[in-house]
Structure 1
Amino acid sequence: MRPWGEGPESARELLPYVDDVSLVDLVSDFEHATGHDVPGAYAGIILDFFNFGDLASYLTGRPDSPYWAKRGVVALLGCDCGEVGCWPLEAHVVTDGDLVTWRGFIQPYRPGRDYEGFGPFVFHQHQYQRAVREAVTATSRSQ
Protein backbone atom coordinates (compact mmCIF):
# COMPACT_ATOMS: atom_id res chain seq x y z
CA MET A 1 0.00 0.00 0.00
CA ARG A 2 1.34 3.40 -0.91
CA PRO A 3 -0.11 6.90 -1.32
CA TRP A 4 -1.51 7.92 -4.71
CA GLY A 5 -1.27 11.63 -5.38
CA GLU A 6 0.14 14.31 -3.15
CA GLY A 7 -0.89 16.10 0.00
CA PRO A 8 -3.26 15.17 2.78
CA GLU A 9 -5.97 14.16 0.29
CA SER A 10 -3.87 11.43 -1.35
CA ALA A 11 -5.61 8.15 -2.15
CA ARG A 12 -4.29 4.64 -1.53
CA GLU A 13 -2.64 2.51 -4.21
CA LEU A 14 -2.36 -1.26 -3.94
CA LEU A 15 0.54 -2.31 -6.16
CA PRO A 16 1.27 -6.04 -6.53
CA TYR A 17 4.85 -7.31 -6.51
CA VAL A 18 6.24 -10.60 -7.79
CA ASP A 19 9.65 -11.54 -6.38
CA ASP A 20 10.25 -7.93 -5.28
CA VAL A 21 9.46 -6.48 -8.74
CA SER A 22 6.26 -4.50 -9.25
CA LEU A 23 3.72 -5.97 -11.64
CA VAL A 24 3.78 -2.60 -13.43
CA ASP A 25 7.50 -3.03 -14.16
CA LEU A 26 7.06 -6.67 -15.21
CA VAL A 27 4.23 -5.98 -17.66
CA SER A 28 5.90 -2.80 -18.93
CA ASP A 29 9.07 -4.74 -19.78
CA PHE A 30 6.99 -7.45 -21.49
CA GLU A 31 4.93 -4.96 -23.52
CA HIS A 32 8.02 -3.03 -24.60
CA ALA A 33 9.82 -6.25 -25.60
CA THR A 34 6.85 -7.47 -27.63
CA GLY A 35 6.31 -4.11 -29.36
CA HIS A 36 2.83 -3.35 -28.04
CA ASP A 37 1.49 0.15 -28.53
CA VAL A 38 0.96 2.11 -25.30
CA PRO A 39 3.28 -0.13 -23.29
CA GLY A 40 3.28 -0.05 -19.51
CA ALA A 41 0.64 2.63 -18.94
CA TYR A 42 -0.41 1.06 -15.63
CA ALA A 43 -0.56 1.78 -11.93
CA GLY A 44 -1.72 -0.27 -9.00
CA ILE A 45 -5.35 -0.41 -7.97
CA ILE A 46 -6.37 2.96 -6.51
CA LEU A 47 -8.54 1.70 -3.69
CA ASP A 48 -10.37 4.97 -3.11
CA PHE A 49 -11.48 5.16 -6.77
CA PHE A 50 -12.59 1.56 -7.32
CA ASN A 51 -15.48 -0.45 -5.87
CA PHE A 52 -13.80 -3.82 -5.48
CA GLY A 53 -16.18 -5.06 -2.78
CA ASP A 54 -14.56 -7.23 -0.13
CA LEU A 55 -10.82 -6.89 -0.79
CA ALA A 56 -9.98 -10.45 0.28
CA SER A 57 -12.65 -11.86 -2.07
CA TYR A 58 -11.43 -9.64 -4.87
CA LEU A 59 -7.74 -10.54 -4.55
CA THR A 60 -8.47 -14.24 -4.38
CA GLY A 61 -10.75 -14.13 -7.43
CA ARG A 62 -13.82 -15.36 -5.61
CA PRO A 63 -17.03 -14.95 -7.60
CA ASP A 64 -18.69 -12.85 -4.85
CA SER A 65 -16.42 -9.95 -5.86
CA PRO A 66 -18.48 -7.49 -7.98
CA TYR A 67 -15.74 -7.06 -10.62
CA TRP A 68 -15.11 -10.79 -10.95
CA ALA A 69 -18.82 -11.57 -11.16
CA LYS A 70 -19.17 -9.26 -14.18
CA ARG A 71 -15.95 -10.16 -16.01
CA GLY A 72 -14.71 -13.55 -14.71
CA VAL A 73 -11.29 -12.00 -14.08
CA VAL A 74 -9.80 -9.42 -11.72
CA ALA A 75 -7.95 -6.25 -12.61
CA LEU A 76 -4.55 -6.56 -10.97
CA LEU A 77 -3.54 -3.15 -12.32
CA GLY A 78 -5.38 -0.05 -13.43
CA CYS A 79 -4.44 2.83 -15.68
CA ASP A 80 -1.64 5.19 -14.73
CA CYS A 81 -4.34 7.89 -14.55
CA GLY A 82 -5.78 6.06 -11.51
CA GLU A 83 -8.93 4.68 -13.16
CA VAL A 84 -9.23 0.89 -13.38
CA GLY A 85 -11.86 1.07 -16.13
CA CYS A 86 -9.62 3.17 -18.36
CA TRP A 87 -6.77 0.70 -18.93
CA PRO A 88 -6.79 -2.42 -16.71
CA LEU A 89 -4.50 -5.41 -16.80
CA GLU A 90 -6.76 -8.34 -15.99
CA ALA A 91 -6.04 -11.96 -15.13
CA HIS A 92 -7.61 -15.11 -13.80
CA VAL A 93 -6.77 -15.85 -10.16
CA VAL A 94 -6.84 -19.63 -9.78
CA THR A 95 -6.46 -21.52 -6.51
CA ASP A 96 -5.49 -25.16 -6.88
CA GLY A 97 -4.44 -27.02 -3.75
CA ASP A 98 -1.54 -25.17 -2.14
CA LEU A 99 -0.99 -22.81 -5.09
CA VAL A 100 -2.50 -19.55 -6.30
CA THR A 101 -1.82 -18.64 -9.92
CA TRP A 102 -2.28 -15.45 -11.92
CA ARG A 103 -2.73 -16.49 -15.54
CA GLY A 104 -4.55 -15.64 -18.73
CA PHE A 105 -3.58 -11.96 -18.70
CA ILE A 106 -5.59 -9.66 -20.94
CA GLN A 107 -5.79 -6.00 -21.80
CA PRO A 108 -9.52 -5.64 -22.63
CA TYR A 109 -8.99 -2.55 -24.76
CA ARG A 110 -6.44 -4.37 -26.91
CA PRO A 111 -8.08 -7.79 -27.36
CA GLY A 112 -5.59 -8.70 -30.09
CA ARG A 113 -2.64 -8.52 -27.72
CA ASP A 114 -0.99 -11.82 -26.94
CA TYR A 115 0.12 -12.19 -23.33
CA GLU A 116 0.96 -15.88 -23.77
CA GLY A 117 4.58 -15.29 -22.71
CA PHE A 118 3.63 -13.21 -19.68
CA GLY A 119 3.31 -15.29 -16.55
CA PRO A 120 1.81 -17.38 -15.24
CA PHE A 121 2.83 -16.24 -11.76
CA VAL A 122 2.50 -18.95 -9.15
CA PHE A 123 2.43 -18.35 -5.39
CA HIS A 124 2.26 -20.67 -2.42
CA GLN A 125 -1.22 -20.28 -1.00
CA HIS A 126 -0.06 -19.52 2.55
CA GLN A 127 2.18 -16.71 1.27
CA TYR A 128 -0.56 -15.35 -0.98
CA GLN A 129 -3.12 -15.43 1.83
CA ARG A 130 -0.65 -13.65 4.13
CA ALA A 131 -0.16 -10.91 1.52
CA VAL A 132 -3.95 -10.57 1.13
CA ARG A 133 -4.38 -10.29 4.92
CA GLU A 134 -1.65 -7.63 5.05
CA ALA A 135 -3.37 -5.67 2.25
CA VAL A 136 -6.75 -5.89 4.02
CA THR A 137 -5.17 -4.80 7.32
CA ALA A 138 -3.33 -1.89 5.69
CA THR A 139 -6.51 -0.83 3.91
CA SER A 140 -8.61 -0.80 7.06
CA ARG A 141 -5.87 1.01 9.01
CA SER A 142 -5.53 3.80 6.45
CA GLN A 143 -9.21 4.61 6.04
Structure 2
Amino acid sequence: MSMNVLSFEVQSDDNSVWIMPVIDGVCLADLITAFEHANNYTDPAGGYGHIREIDFKPLGNDIDILACECGETGCWPLKATAFIENATVVWSAFRQPFRKNRNYDAFGPFRFSRSHFDTAISHLRTDITPKD
Protein backbone atom coordinates (compact mmCIF):
# COMPACT_ATOMS: atom_id res chain seq x y z
CA MET A 1 0.00 0.00 0.00
CA SER A 2 1.51 3.32 -1.04
CA MET A 3 1.71 6.20 1.39
CA ASN A 4 0.61 9.75 0.75
CA VAL A 5 2.87 12.74 1.31
CA LEU A 6 1.63 15.43 3.70
CA SER A 7 2.74 19.02 3.96
CA PHE A 8 1.08 22.27 4.94
CA GLU A 9 0.65 25.69 3.41
CA VAL A 10 0.70 28.38 6.10
CA GLN A 11 -0.62 31.93 5.79
CA SER A 12 -0.97 34.58 8.44
CA ASP A 13 -2.64 37.90 8.92
CA ASP A 14 -2.73 40.32 11.84
CA ASN A 15 -5.14 38.12 13.80
CA SER A 16 -4.60 34.48 12.86
CA VAL A 17 -2.42 31.82 11.36
CA TRP A 18 -4.16 29.77 8.65
CA ILE A 19 -3.34 26.18 7.65
CA MET A 20 -4.07 24.28 4.45
CA PRO A 21 -3.19 20.56 4.37
CA VAL A 22 -1.43 19.60 1.14
CA ILE A 23 -1.57 15.96 0.09
CA ASP A 24 0.75 14.67 -2.61
CA GLY A 25 1.43 18.25 -3.68
CA VAL A 26 -2.24 19.30 -4.02
CA CYS A 27 -4.08 21.37 -1.44
CA LEU A 28 -6.89 19.49 0.25
CA ALA A 29 -9.45 22.16 -0.69
CA ASP A 30 -8.72 21.53 -4.39
CA LEU A 31 -8.88 17.75 -3.92
CA ILE A 32 -12.27 17.82 -2.19
CA THR A 33 -13.70 20.39 -4.62
CA ALA A 34 -12.73 18.20 -7.60
CA PHE A 35 -14.29 15.17 -5.85
CA GLU A 36 -17.52 17.05 -5.20
CA HIS A 37 -17.75 18.24 -8.82
CA ALA A 38 -17.04 14.72 -10.13
CA ASN A 39 -19.88 13.40 -7.96
CA ASN A 40 -22.31 16.18 -8.93
CA TYR A 41 -22.35 17.62 -5.43
CA THR A 42 -22.91 21.11 -6.74
CA ASP A 43 -25.28 22.50 -4.14
CA PRO A 44 -22.57 23.96 -3.78
CA ALA A 45 -19.32 22.18 -4.56
CA GLY A 46 -16.22 23.44 -2.83
CA GLY A 47 -16.26 26.56 -0.77
CA TYR A 48 -13.53 25.29 1.55
CA GLY A 49 -10.55 27.24 2.74
CA HIS A 50 -7.70 27.35 5.19
CA ILE A 51 -8.44 26.48 8.78
CA ARG A 52 -7.30 28.63 11.70
CA GLU A 53 -4.34 27.17 13.51
CA ILE A 54 -6.28 27.22 16.79
CA ASP A 55 -9.06 25.10 15.18
CA PHE A 56 -6.78 22.55 13.50
CA LYS A 57 -6.40 19.20 15.24
CA PRO A 58 -4.52 16.63 13.11
CA LEU A 59 -5.84 13.58 15.01
CA GLY A 60 -9.25 12.66 16.42
CA ASN A 61 -12.64 11.14 15.70
CA ASP A 62 -14.51 14.22 14.50
CA ILE A 63 -12.01 16.84 13.42
CA ASP A 64 -12.46 19.90 11.27
CA ILE A 65 -9.84 19.41 8.56
CA LEU A 66 -10.87 22.45 6.47
CA ALA A 67 -12.89 25.55 7.23
CA CYS A 68 -15.27 27.48 5.02
CA GLU A 69 -13.58 29.84 2.61
CA CYS A 70 -14.74 32.59 5.00
CA GLY A 71 -12.54 31.01 7.68
CA GLU A 72 -15.25 29.72 10.00
CA THR A 73 -15.38 26.03 10.89
CA GLY A 74 -19.01 26.35 11.94
CA CYS A 75 -20.04 27.73 8.56
CA TRP A 76 -18.97 25.08 6.01
CA PRO A 77 -16.36 22.68 7.39
CA LEU A 78 -14.94 19.50 5.98
CA LYS A 79 -14.77 16.94 8.77
CA ALA A 80 -12.76 13.75 8.99
CA THR A 81 -11.59 11.01 11.27
CA ALA A 82 -7.85 10.85 11.84
CA PHE A 83 -6.23 8.00 13.71
CA ILE A 84 -3.00 6.10 14.21
CA GLU A 85 -2.94 2.51 12.96
CA ASN A 86 0.38 0.79 13.70
CA ALA A 87 3.04 2.97 12.02
CA THR A 88 0.51 4.80 9.84
CA VAL A 89 -1.66 7.87 10.33
CA VAL A 90 -4.95 7.63 8.44
CA TRP A 91 -7.27 10.49 7.50
CA SER A 92 -10.62 9.01 6.45
CA ALA A 93 -14.42 9.18 6.85
CA PHE A 94 -14.62 12.65 5.29
CA ARG A 95 -17.96 14.37 5.58
CA GLN A 96 -19.74 17.65 5.04
CA PRO A 97 -22.05 18.01 8.07
CA PHE A 98 -24.49 20.31 6.29
CA ARG A 99 -24.99 17.88 3.38
CA LYS A 100 -25.62 14.57 5.14
CA ASN A 101 -26.88 12.97 1.91
CA ARG A 102 -23.43 13.20 0.32
CA ASN A 103 -21.28 10.09 0.28
CA TYR A 104 -17.54 10.66 0.66
CA ASP A 105 -16.56 6.98 1.01
CA ALA A 106 -14.55 7.15 -2.24
CA PHE A 107 -12.58 10.21 -1.06
CA GLY A 108 -9.42 8.98 0.59
CA PRO A 109 -8.45 7.49 2.85
CA PHE A 110 -5.12 9.25 2.97
CA ARG A 111 -2.34 7.28 4.65
CA PHE A 112 0.89 8.78 5.94
CA SER A 113 3.79 6.97 7.51
CA ARG A 114 3.86 7.93 11.18
CA SER A 115 7.42 9.23 10.94
CA HIS A 116 6.57 11.37 7.89
CA PHE A 117 3.39 12.65 9.59
CA ASP A 118 5.32 13.58 12.75
CA THR A 119 7.91 15.41 10.64
CA ALA A 120 5.20 17.31 8.74
CA ILE A 121 3.54 18.35 12.03
CA SER A 122 6.92 19.39 13.43
CA HIS A 123 7.57 21.56 10.35
CA LEU A 124 4.08 23.02 10.71
CA ARG A 125 4.73 23.96 14.33
CA THR A 126 8.00 25.61 13.29
CA ASP A 127 6.20 27.53 10.53
CA ILE A 128 3.48 28.84 12.87
CA THR A 129 5.74 29.75 15.77
CA PRO A 130 6.08 33.55 15.97
CA LYS A 131 9.53 34.73 15.07
CA ASP A 132 11.04 37.56 17.10
Q: What do the CA deviations read for 1:3-45 (whole angstroms, capped 9, x no partner)?
A: 356xxx3632100011000000100000011011211100021
Identify which of 67, 76, 92 aligns with 1:87.
76
Q: What do the CA deviations read for 1:96-127 (whole angstroms, capped 9, x no partner)?
A: 11100110001011111100110001111111
Q: What do the CA deviations read for 1:47-90 (whole angstroms, capped 9, x no partner)?
A: 3xxx43xx6xx2132xxxxxxxxxx3111100001111111101
TM-score (norm 2): 0.84
Unmatched 5+ stretches in structure 2: 1-8
Q: 1:138 to 1:86 in 2, by over 3 A?
A: same
Asked whether 1:18 is paired with 2:30, we answer no
Question: In 1, are the aligned partners of 2:10 and 2:18 still within 8 Å (CA)?
Answer: yes
TM-score (norm 1): 0.78
Question: How high is the sequence identity, in percent, across the aligned residues?
Answer: 33
Q: Secondary structure at 1:15's aligned position in 2?
A: strand
When you count helix as a share of all residues, which structure comes out higher?
1
Higher relative contact order (CA 8 A, sep 6+): 2
> 1:126 matched to which residue of 2?
115
Number of aligned residue pairs: give it.
123
Letter in 2 for 1:74: I
When you count strand as a share of all residues, which structure comes out higher?
2
Asked whether 1:2 is paired with 2:2, we answer no
Question: RMSD value over aligned CA atoms?
Answer: 1.9
Question: In 2, are the aligned partners of 1:104 and 1:120 still within 8 Å (CA)?
Answer: yes
> 2:6 matched to which residue of 1?
none
- Aligned partners of 1:44, 1:125: CA distance in 2, in Å? 23
> 2:44 matched to which residue of 1?
38
Q: 1:142 to 1:16 in 2, by over 3 A?
A: farther
Question: In 2, are the aligned partners of 1:4 and 1:46 still within 8 Å (CA)?
Answer: no
Q: 1:13 to 1:140 in 2, by over 3 A?
A: same
The ranges of structure 1 where at least 4 consecutive aligned residues each deviate by more than 3 angstroms after the TM superposition are: none
> 1:66 matched to which residue of 2?
none
Question: In 2, are the aligned partners of 1:89 and 1:105 still within 8 Å (CA)?
Answer: yes
